[in-house]
Amino acid sequence: MQIRYCLSCNKELLGRTDKKFCDTQCRSTHHNKNRPFHEITIQKANSGLRRNRTLLAHFCPSGKSTVRKDVLVELDYRFELFTYLFPFKKGTYYFCYDYGFLPIEEKGIKKMLIVQKQDYMENLSFNPWGFKL
């Protein structure tokens, strides 16, 4: 009988002859190690966006609310990640899927006006060459 070794940690494998890994931990370690770099990049951005969206939704239970920027900074909100921009005359909304915020300042305190995405925000013809932050 041939001795087989875990493809992840190289420990000797016992049991079924078609086994390639000790356990699910070793299996996922191996697959993560062999994932192409772009997949890791995409997954990091996606999980950051999802997390941002969850935070926005949490602080905006009824469609619209205002939260101090510091609160979201404390919770590691990633301001550089967003899925849509919605610029209008008073500023720019930064959306993560269906929730977004407008950066505002009240009495010197930086805040986020969080909103749920509205239908009219969908059909924007956005021109990156004519847009200034």
Residues forming the site for Zn ion (CB under 5 A): 6, 8-9, 22, 26
Question: Of 27 and 68, which CB lies nearer to Zn ion in the complex structure?
Answer: 27
Distance in Å, CB of 6 to Zn ion, minimum: 3
- Are the C-beta atoms of residues 97 and 55 closer than 8 Å to each other? no
Question: Of 29 and 65, which CB lies nearer to Zn ion in the complex structure?
Answer: 29
Distance in Å, CB of 21 to Zn ion, minimum: 5
Question: Of 20 and 51, which CB lies nearer to Zn ion in the complex structure?
Answer: 20
> What is the distance between the alpha carbons of residues 46 and 122, in angstroms, rounded to a whole number?
20
Q: Which of 108, 107, 84, 80 is nearest to 94 (CA)?
A: 84
Question: Of 9 and 40, which CB lies nearer to Zn ion in the complex structure?
Answer: 9
Collapsing DSSP states into helix, strand and coil, what is residue 91? strand
Distance in Å, CB of 43 to Zn ion, minimum: 23
Distance in Å, CB of 39 to Zn ion, minimum: 22
> What is the distance between the alpha carbons of residues 115 and 84, in angstroms, rounded to a whole number?
13
Instruction: Tokens for 103, please give them.
Output: 């950066």
Please state the φ and ψ torsions of residue 56, each to the nearest 5 degrees.
-60, -45
For residue 119, give the amino acid letter: D
> What is the distance between the alpha carbons of residues 30 and 122, in angstroms, rounded to a whole number?
41
